[in-house]
């Protein structure tokens, strides 16, 4: 029997638990709705060039500037920006065919190492010259060298980057990468490259897999295949790069003496899904192409929801002063990377 005047803690906690669960669901649903709006907006002629990821981030940023951050449903939004982000990276591993990269793309893998090193180092050097923000510049350098927004999302937890920087970086990469991909398609008829060489150029220099597909597809299936192969080599290098960054963070003590870096378990999932997709699906397990297309769409949509959560952290006032320098550094690096890969093919 409960003494008079005292409440039962277990009964009192149930409404609070139920309320917390509701706000958590509402937060996730909120990111889902904005991601859906981004998906629909990306169907509009012109905006279809930048894709649903960038469209969703833009909507989230605009929402934040007009109505502020929805504090009541923060828990659900943070779940999307952190947990769903890791899930998207794991599922992204299915896009990496390790067998093809290892057996047919070792030469391109060497070029991929050069691409990543060049992109990161040059972006940081230019950023230093411009006195630009180091953290955002590093994220943009990694995104330029590896695989765009997915790479930025993967390394952000390791680098302890601010969610605002992650969202800004992902948005910039999506927009600039799309501009470059469109420019490649316009330029293609006027340059003296075979379709295969053009595909390799696209795969070694463009920012995201979608950008490579956009640029290489007009040159034919062979160009598209070799372009994606070159790009997958860069995606594969995301794993060793992540461990290098972990070592660098510990070595330079960027986190303080008592702070530890959590092991990025989602990278193990990324590798596991890559192995599963490369050596199990099609060999031992048959999955219809329609199902794989659904999984691919879910991956993209999950990443979009995560980016919505990150985009809500962006303060446009800070963006004007913080992002200009890193954007310039990344843009110059992208131009020089295109020239370098063009001349070395």
The per-residue pLDDT for range 131-169, each reduced to its tens digit, is 999 999 999 999 999 988 888 988 888 888 888 888 888
Is-contact 56 35, C-beta < 8 A? yes
Write out the two tokens for 136.
């955002």
Q: Lowest mean pLDDT: which of 49-53, 192-196, 284-288, 326-330?
A: 49-53
Which CA distances in Å does 59 have to 63, 75, 179? 6, 20, 20
Nearest Cα to 142, choosing from 118, 162, 160?
A: 118
Mean pLDDT for the stretch of residues 6-13: 51
Cross-strand bridge partners of residue 285: 281
Whole-number pLDDT of residue 260: 56
The phi, psi pair for 207, rounded to 5°, reads -80, -50
Local confidence band at 267 (pLDDT 50, 70, 90 cut-offs):
confident
What are the start-end ranges of the H helices in the chain?
9-41, 51-67, 74-79, 85-92, 98-104, 106-129, 134-145, 148-159, 163-187, 195-205, 209-216, 221-236, 238-252, 265-279, 289-311, 316-322, 324-344
Is-contact 236 109, C-beta < 8 A? yes
Residues ≥6 apart with Cβ < 8 Å to 16:
none
Mean pLDDT for the stretch of residues 185-197: 88
Does the structure show a pLDDT above 50 at 11?
no
Whole-number pLDDT of residue 308: 86
Looking up tokens 């991601």 gives 35
Local confidence band at 336 (pLDDT 50, 70, 90 cut-offs):
very high
Is-contact 322 133, C-beta < 8 A? yes
Q: What rounded mean pLDDT belongs to the chain?
A: 83
Mean pLDDT for the stretch of residues 37-65: 83
Give 38 or 213, the one with higher predicted confidence. 38
Nearest Cα to 304, choosing from 45, 50, 46?
A: 50
Does the structure show a pLDDT above 90 at 215?
no
Whole-number pLDDT of residue 18: 77
Write out the two tokens for 169.
């970086």
Whole-number pLDDT of residue 335: 96
Does the structure show a pLDDT above 60 at 238?
yes
Does the structure show a pLDDT above 60 at 340?
yes
Is-contact 159 77, C-beta < 8 A? no
Write out the two tokens for 230.
């070159």
Does the structure show a pLDDT above 70 at 8?
no
Does the structure show a pLDDT above 50 at 257?
no
Phi-psi region of 119 (alpha: psi -120 to 50; beta: other; left: phi over 0): alpha
Whole-number pLDDT of residue 95: 77
- Give the highest mean pLDDT range of 229-233, 241-245, 264-268: 241-245
Whole-number pLDDT of residue 123: 97
CA 204 to chain centre: 17
Distance, CA of 96 to CA of 118 (rounded, Å)? 23
Whole-number pLDDT of residue 206: 94
Would you state the torsion angle of the CA atoms of residues 181, 148, 129, 253, taken in this order, to the nearest 10 degrees?
Answer: -170
The phi, psi pair for 152, rounded to 5°, reads -60, -45
The per-residue pLDDT for range 104-128, each reduced to its tens digit, is 667 778 888 999 999 999 999 999 9
Whole-number pLDDT of residue 119: 96
Does the structure show a pLDDT above 60 at 76?
yes
């Amino acid at each position: 029997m409960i003494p008079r005047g005292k409440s039962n803690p277990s009964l009192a906690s149930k409404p609070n638990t139920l309320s917390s669960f509701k706000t958590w669901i509402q937060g996730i649903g909120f990111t889902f709705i904005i991601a859906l709006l981004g998906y629909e907006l990306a169907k509009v002629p012109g905006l279809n060039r930048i894709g649903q990821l960038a469209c969703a981030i833009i909507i989230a940023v605009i929402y934040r500037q007009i109505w502020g951050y929805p504090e009541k449903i923060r828990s659900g939004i943070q779940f999307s920006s952190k947990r769903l982000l890791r899930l998207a990276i794991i599922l992204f591993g299915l896009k990496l065919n390790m067998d093809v990269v290892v057996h047919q793309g070792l030469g391109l893998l060497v070029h991929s190492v050069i691409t990543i090193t060049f992109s990161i180092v040059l972006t940081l050097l230019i950023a230093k010259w411009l006195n630009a923000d180091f953290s955002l510049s590093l994220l943009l350098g990694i995104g330029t060298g590896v695989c765009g927004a997915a790479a930025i999302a993967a390394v952000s937890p390791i680098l302890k980057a601010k969610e605002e920087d992650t969202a800004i970086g992902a948005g910039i990469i999506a927009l600039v990468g799309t501009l470059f991909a469109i420019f490649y398609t316009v330029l293609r008829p006027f340059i003296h490259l075979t379709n295969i060489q053009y595909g390799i150029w696209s795969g070694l220099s463009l920012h995201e897999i979608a950008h490579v597909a956009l640029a290489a597809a007009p040159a034919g299936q062979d160009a598209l295949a070799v372009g994606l192969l070159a790009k997958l080599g860069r995606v594969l290098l995301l794993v060793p790069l992540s461990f290098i960054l972990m070592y660098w963070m510990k070595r330079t003590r960027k986190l303080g003496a008592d702070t530890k870096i959590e092991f990025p378990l989602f990278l193990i999932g990324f590798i596991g899904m890559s192995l599963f997709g490369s050596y199990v699906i099609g060999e031992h397990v048959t999955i219809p192409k329609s199902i794989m297309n659904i999984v691919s769409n879910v991956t993209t949509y999950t990443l979009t929801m995560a980016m919505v959560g990150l985009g809500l952290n962006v303060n446009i006032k800070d963006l004007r002063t913080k992002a200009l320098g890193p954007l310039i550094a990344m843009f110059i690096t992208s131009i020089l990377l295109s020239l370098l890969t063009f001349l070395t093919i």
